[in-house]
Structure 1
Amino acid sequence: MTDGHAPGAPGGPGNAHRALRDLVMAATVRIHRAGPGYAQDEPGTFLGSGFFIAPNWVLTCAHVVRSGEGNEVRVVYERGPGRGTSAVTGEVATVLPDRAGIPARGTWPSPDLALVRLREPVDHDCAYVTERPAAYYEEAVVLYSGWSVVGGELRRLSGTCTVQGTLGGWSDDEQIRLGGDVLPPGVSGGPVVDPVRGEVVGVLKSRTDRGLGGTCTGVERLRSLPVPAGETTAEHDDPYHAVFHAHDRYHRDRQRHPDTDRNTWADVQNQLGARPGRVLSPEERTQLLGRLADLPPPVSTRALLGLLESLTGDRTAIPHPAPRGWRDGLGTLYESARHDAALDLVLDYAMRAMSAERPFVTPGTRAAERALWEWVRQTAEGRPGPAYRRRLGQQWIERLQLAPRGPSPAEAEAAHATAHSAGRAPRLFVLLELEQLGWEPGRCDWHVSLGRPTGEVVRLRDGERTPLDELAPVLAPHLTEAFRQCDEPGRPADLQVALPHLLLGLDVDAWRLGPGEAPLGAHRPVVVRCADREQLPGPAGPAARDGEPLPADEERHEREARWRWIHAHGAQAEILDCEDGLRVPVPTAESLRGLPHKTIPVLCRYGDHRFEDDPVAVVRIVHGGYGVALWRRWRGQSEAVCGEFHRRAGDTVAGAGGADRLPELVHALRAGLSEGRPETYWAHGIALFYDDPRRPLPGTGDLLEAP
């Protein structure tokens, strides 16, 4: 499946091919019937194979998922060599073709594809999927991977097949014919890989009843997914763009990750000698596609085709299915560019994508455009002669001169004022205070109170020496009563949780107050406050490196000034503990005081204690004068990709318009997580520190005085 532009490593399978096989198999999953009582290793529930195409998305065959019952399946995957298997429930999001009358069992017509959306976020590897307009059908060898029942046990396997041509014509039923190997039952839905370029080009569809081989479907058939009927206002409105933008950002972020010794797909493609489009290295292609995926998608297929025609004239035959996203357009350019002009065409394409009409914009769109421009500028530096570079620079200047696309400042201010007056007007809230016992760190005293809009707090119930793992059931009836006294129809009261600094990772928002109930954080806004700053170690302790603390009055004035700014003028997120996946120490309080007042600190890896003073990192943020911060409770491995959290957290803070909206926005994210909406999975474990310096906790006089 090559066109001669990407010669592979000579001499048969070598280190690069073994590394490619490992990547393919790591992304391959098996699919089972869903339902209680099913063991994840039970061959009787096994339906077929699939593979992770993007974080929390599995691509497989429609006939595989429709062989089960209902619209749910179980996806079984391996986290890594020697780590064992894990299982997660998935929902069949879409199938192709989705026609009434197709039997649940038997032959499913082409393209016979299905996308499965996981019900909860998990860490896993993803395959790299080609951006070329169609697979190549000349005689070649392809690699496949899947699962099957061997000797009564489920076993993972891989192998090679030869491409023998096609089945069908130019219509939607075209399939790739494979031969040269016996395809055992169960491998349907597994990936088919071009071993020369090192990319997935198809999905195994069927096997022959007798003899060798079977058929597969080209992954480009996913472009025929239905286009949403209504207006597209966000990336997740269109599953095609949601999946492939997430795919390209994942591989870009994985390639950037500095804290891993594992091969990436671009690493292996480079070892294979692949040269995407004849002009880009695999690393360059990965970075370009990741930057394109940070932009909103093309407004329509017709608009994308018009952009391509403006670059290539009539030289480009429209592939079938037609290109739909930025990556598809790039793949189409590969096939039309002359060797001496291929790089110019790619750079011109990136510039056109940067200034194209948008179906929507996000707070991060401008930053994405600038990042893409930096890639173009740096790539163009090696072009001979100044004329081309000067033309690109002029295009960027023209782009900067365009009017901002989005609400005007007056409209934004009016919207913010409305949200402030309607959404965050002072009202009743519930306060839960936990006090950790120094002589029994596994137990807590607790207090449940009602907070009035005036700041007055009325105690409802107290408890002593409750084990941490029993807090939720013990507190459930008391919190339920407090909520009943505060909630209004359609407006559940906020829960403020005052925690000692060593318990700020406690997942109170995940508590369930009764069987079958949604988590607390999905039902109502839940925010945390730090209850014990005055008890933290003094100059001889972990905070010593922060320098001399500010006098109490100055620190209080700093907190109030920052609080007023981010509520009146909006805010900007600042990731403090992670740089492109590399865990870094949180800056000192003195350094944090020097950040602009619009800053809201964000911790990507709270709980990933790599440094001596990590346990007081959040307290250092509060010492720096901050009353609002975001973090997520870290449960991943050191090599887990976290670029999506950085990007989405920044957009959430910037898009809020003012910090007063963050409790509701975090509440909406938690509700989305509870409902299994993939666009919210980046926020798994999110916590919001929201501590009004004008309203101290009971008994403190002034919350968080310097030690």
Structure 2
Amino acid sequence: MPAADTTAQAGTAEAGTAQALTPQAGPPQAGTGAAMWGSGFFIAPGWVLTCAHVLRSYLREQQDRVFAVRNEVVNGGAPVEARLAHWLLSDLRNDKVPVAEDLALVRLLDDSVEHECVWFTDRAEQPGGAPKTAYGFRPGEHGRGQAVPWSADAEINQRDDTYGMRFAPQAEFPKGASGGPVLDPAAGAVVGIIKSRRSERDGGLAIAAAALRQFGDVYQEVMAWHDRWHGGRSAVTSYHWTAEQAKLPGRSSVPPSGDQWTPEDRTEALRLLAELDPPRASPDVAALVDRARGEPPPPGRAPLLHTWRDGHGRLYENDRPLEAIAFLHYLRLVALLVESRDGDAKALSDWVERRLTTVRPPLRTVVTDARLPERLTVRQAAESDPGQVVIPYPGPGEGATVVVELEPVLYEEPTRFYWRIRVDDGDDGDGGGEPFAAEETGRGVAPEDLVQRLRQPLAEVFHGVDTPHSPAPLEVALPVGHFDTAVHRWQLSQMAKLYDAAHLPLGARRRVVLRDIARRGDPDNVWRERWERAAGAGEFRASRTPPLGQMPKSRQFQEMPATAIPVLCRPASRGLGRKAIDMALEAGHGIALWHTEGHTASGCLDPCETFHAGAAELLGQLGAAAELPDRLRRIREEIYQERDASHWAEAVAVLYDDPRRPVPAGQAGTVDSP
């Protein structure tokens, strides 16, 4: 693969402009005659970022194959051996690589090779439509090994899904440019990666910089090296990206002031953040950002914040950094959190203290009096208490849940679904606002294909909201006719190491509950009042539904006391089970248990008695209704560890439908398919 390095070029007309350098990739022994694979750029010392599809054809069968990276000003122009380190591809058989999966990280095998690195944006938001500059290489006209530098100015005029950025038809993107950087000249930062061109037409498609965050821990490592390199570079040379960014339009015309956050401040702050222990979970970073901003993020999909650097990138407004006091407040909070976990943040604290002396005195108390958000200190105390065995299900304001909404597509037989994934933080009353990811056009997804379609977005959102000791709960809102969907058996990884948490079924790793999609919107009084009575009750008991030898009756469900939980030893989506669960929902019940694979036509047999005895024991252990999902999760974990397919709870599903956190109102009923 030819990967391209991008480096700020001294003496260029525009400050912050990047120039692509030409590497040549192919088997090292192939020499100068090796065919060019594509483009790329150095994102950190020894790390090249490119597109996964640039490498896939050559590495599909041998992913540890050594190839060459070549550039005329790197290593004296001689090829440098490299190897694929990581890529986001989930299915090597798929000829079309989705935008969200089309990134690969390449590692040089020789750490002594010196080279420049790009400045990679710390922002997750896709850039505006102002002109961008794309860099890459195209094959030369003479010789298979020749790679010719190429660049073009083009405007991003469309956003496609989460990470896609489409260029207006202003320039023709050549073959070989895939993997090259997209520079925002106004910000002096790389904001995307070229993915593809349009056949025989101008324009192309790029991948937003935020897609790199999907590498998780590797992303943390690479960006830490990136920030250390730039911090050291600015300290020892007179020319570097930071110096050029300081000359960008809109900066030189503003008189210097300690109240402004400068490119030099950003470089030093990110260098110091890179030296800290990484955050334990994305919600930790988000809580500090919200405190520093003084407000929650604006409406829309909030980006996942994997690193302290990502939090820094949230402190902007309309592409401009907030005042310095907001950044210093955030940095002080980071230092407090790291120190509360026995980490060393002295260098960061000392720098914040020195930098604070240049800010107007009335503002300084915002930083000097900074305190961690209460939810972080409370959770930290709970995590340090080994006596807390059961994790209660979060109510309003008590933590985030991940919600999957499955909406049937109208006129599709058999049933197909549109889907949405939201994060409900329980604080804002709107169920989490805009979807994190969604598919709401076309024919929808068949039930048997749901887990495959949801794997990637669910893995991404869980990475962002899980905390070390408490994976976020999963709520699946779907029609009653599909209540027997075995969501608790879903796995997010098709292939994982045996000890990897990704190998666990969802129900063994996190609290998984079902909700009724028909209940979306404002809850009725019957549902609300029964929930309030149940939530405050104790000594719960299982109520066999319907009673042995009887048919279900609406009155039975209406007259059940608050401590009684309907338990069905049969599926809830058909037959008597469907009648019973419909009556339970109509009577306002928000909690129920049923066997998704129990008997249908025949009467109750011995397995039914075992099921009811197990359910009665489980419910009798509850000190509060909120304990049920985690107690069931622990049973599922034991079932998985012991490989006990005959256990009474292996096929059990739980309705936990909290009217205090309703599924937001949306389109009523089924959805039209175009």
TM-score (norm 1): 0.46
Higher RCO structure, 1 or 2 (CA under 8 Å, sep 6+): 1
TM-score (norm 2): 0.48
